[in-house]
């Protein structure tokens, strides 16, 4: 099995997702700055996996703090560096907050603090797999044998600590003996669908058909899609959902064709502080991602480019949000409020 992100012998290991599916290379991280770079450069990506990586990065950073150092200042630097990597996936900030709590509980004893930080990061990793299995168990009840499900980007094992959110629902349905087929959007410009979703489903022998993003409407109009399931990077208090660019278009198409549109995500992806999706910060990435296709330039270098990495699907286009606690239905504001602790 490939390590999406793994803690081993006080080092962090990640499969380099930039190279998949052409090359399977594992990168070793012994420094928190290196982990931050890997998040920023998309060695690891996907909201829950980013959260786990940030927690492990913080643990690595704290383990390197010297007894004669300035503990508070060093910790601030570590958390600030990891927080500055990617702005949209709220799981990153959720994980940083969780690590901060542990830091403040144990900071009086450096040796114990190091142990506790490491334990917390490993716990976040383990919990994520269990959460995804629960999302799968809750979501699979919505699927019927014989259905074909369209997904966008990669919300699978590669985007989490394992099993996946959107793909976790599909895995769980198949484990329940349902015959499910997947249609994967290619997901331009970064090709998470073609490179990652197709690769991981093929590894599990789950039937998958790849389409380019602009084919989704046609295949829906033909009646060949029974449902859409996507992941999420941040869900606002009213259910508006930020996910990979192109998700909004898929939701509009699903709505037009009266196909259910599901979001599968852990409660840690809900940002209870935001009233609506308008407040979600949307990452803009380098223009190179758009003017190159698999390292081949497809437009002149001086071309003006707009490259938002995410879009926001308004809550009224979403049929249900599948979480580990329960499946949420409209009114999403009320349903999300019921999850507040």
In the bound complex, what is the minimum distance in angstroms from residue 295's beta carbon to ligand MRU?
A: 18
* Residues tagged active-site: 233
Identified binder of ligand MRU from the candidate list 6, 43, 48, 312, rule CB under 6 A: 48
SS (H, E, C) the chain: CCCCCEEECCEEEEECCCCCCCCCCEEEECCHHHHHHHHHCCCCCCHHHHHHHHHHHHHHHHHCCCCCCCHHHHHHHHHHHHHCCCCCCHHHHHHHHHHHHHHHHHCCCHHHHHHHHHHHHHHHHHHHHHHHHHHHHHHHCCCCCCCEEEECCCCCHHHCCCCCCHHHHHHHHHHCCCCCEEEEECCCCCCHHHHHHHHHHHHCCCCEEEECHHHHHHHHHCCCCCEEEECCCEECCCCCEEEECCHHHHHHHHHHCCCCEEEECCHHHECCCCCCHHHCCCCECCCHHHHEECCEECCCCCCCCCCECEEEECHHHCCEEECCCCEECCCHHHHHHCCCC
Smaller CB distance to ligand MRU: residue 75 or 266? 266
Smaller CB distance to ligand MRU: residue 90 or 259? 90
Identified binder of ligand MRU from the candidate list 36, 124, 149, 155, rule CB under 6 A: 155
In the bound complex, what is the minimum distance in angstroms from residue 106's beta carbon to ligand MRU?
A: 30
Task: Tell me which residue has its CB nearest to ligand MRU.
Answer: 231
In the bound complex, what is the minimum distance in angstroms from residue 243's beta carbon to ligand MRU?
A: 5
Does 89 bind ligand MRU (CB under 6 A)? Our answer is: yes
Does 313 bind ligand MRU (CB under 6 A)? Our answer is: no
Contact string (CB under 6 A) for ligand MRU, positions 213-252, x = contact: ------------------xxx---------xx--------
| Number of CB atoms found within 10 A of residue 146's CB | 10
Structure token digits, residue 216: 């989704």
Does 319 bind ligand MRU (CB under 6 A)? Our answer is: no
Identified binder of ligand MRU from the candidate list 159, 259, 274, 336, rule CB under 6 A: 159
Smaller CB distance to ligand MRU: residue 153 or 180? 153
Does 192 bind ligand MRU (CB under 6 A)? Our answer is: yes
Give the range of 46-54, 59-67, 170-178, 288-296 binding ligand MRU by CB under 6 A: 46-54
Q: How many residues bind ligand MRU (CB under 6 A)?
A: 17
Smaller CB distance to ligand MRU: residue 75 or 248? 248
Does 160 bind ligand MRU (CB under 6 A)? Our answer is: yes
Does 38 bind ligand MRU (CB under 6 A)? Our answer is: no
In the bound complex, what is the minimum distance in angstroms from residue 111's beta carbon to ligand MRU?
A: 35
In the bound complex, what is the minimum distance in angstroms from residue 136's beta carbon to ligand MRU?
A: 12
Does 195 bind ligand MRU (CB under 6 A)? Our answer is: no
Residues that bind ligand MRU (CB under 6 A): 45-48, 89, 153, 155, 159-160, 165, 192, 231-233, 243-244, 309
């Amino acid at each position: 099995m490939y390590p999406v992100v793994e803690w081993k012998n006080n080092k962090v290991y990640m499969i380099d997702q930039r190279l998949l599916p052409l090359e399977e290379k594992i990168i070793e991280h012994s420094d928190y700055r290196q982990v931050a770079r890997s998040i920023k450069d998309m060695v690891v990506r996907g909201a829950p996996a980013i959260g786990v990586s940030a927690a492990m990065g913080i643990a690595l950073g704290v383990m390197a703090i010297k007894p004669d150092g300035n503990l508070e200042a060093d910790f601030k630097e570590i958390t600030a560096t990891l927080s500055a990597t990617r702005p949209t996936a709220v799981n990153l900030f959720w994980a940083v907050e969780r690590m901060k709590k542990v830091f403040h509980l144990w900071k009086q004893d450096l040796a114990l603090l190091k142990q506790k930080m490491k334990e917390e990061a490993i716990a976040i990793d383990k919990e994520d797999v269990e959460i995804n299995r629960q999302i799968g168990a809750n979501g699979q009840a919505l699927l019927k044998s014989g259905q074909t499900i369209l997904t966008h980007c990669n919300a699978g094992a590669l985007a989490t600590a394992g099993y996946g959110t959107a793909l976790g629902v599909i895995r769980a349905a198949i484990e329940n003996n349902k015959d499910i087929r997947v249609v994967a959007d290619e997901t331009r410009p970064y090709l998470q669908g073609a490179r990652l979703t197709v690769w991981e489903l093929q590894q599990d022998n789950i039937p998958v058909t790849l389409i380019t993003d602009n084919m989704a409407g046609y295949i829906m109009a033909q009646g060949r899609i029974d449902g859409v399931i996507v992941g999420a990077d941040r869900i606002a208090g009213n259910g508006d959902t930020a996910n990979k660019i192109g998700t909004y278009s898929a939701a509009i198409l699903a709505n037009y064709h009266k196909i259910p549109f599901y979001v599968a995500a852990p409660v840690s992806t809900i940002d209870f502080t935001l009233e609506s999706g308008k407040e979600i910060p949307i990452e803009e990435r380098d223009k190179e991602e758009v003017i190159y296709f698999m390292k081949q330039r497809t437009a002149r270098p001086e071309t003006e480019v707009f490259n938002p990495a995410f879009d926001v699907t308004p809550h009224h286009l979403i049929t249900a949000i599948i979480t580990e606690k329960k499946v949420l239905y409209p009114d999403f504001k009320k349903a999300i409020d019921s999850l507040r602790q």
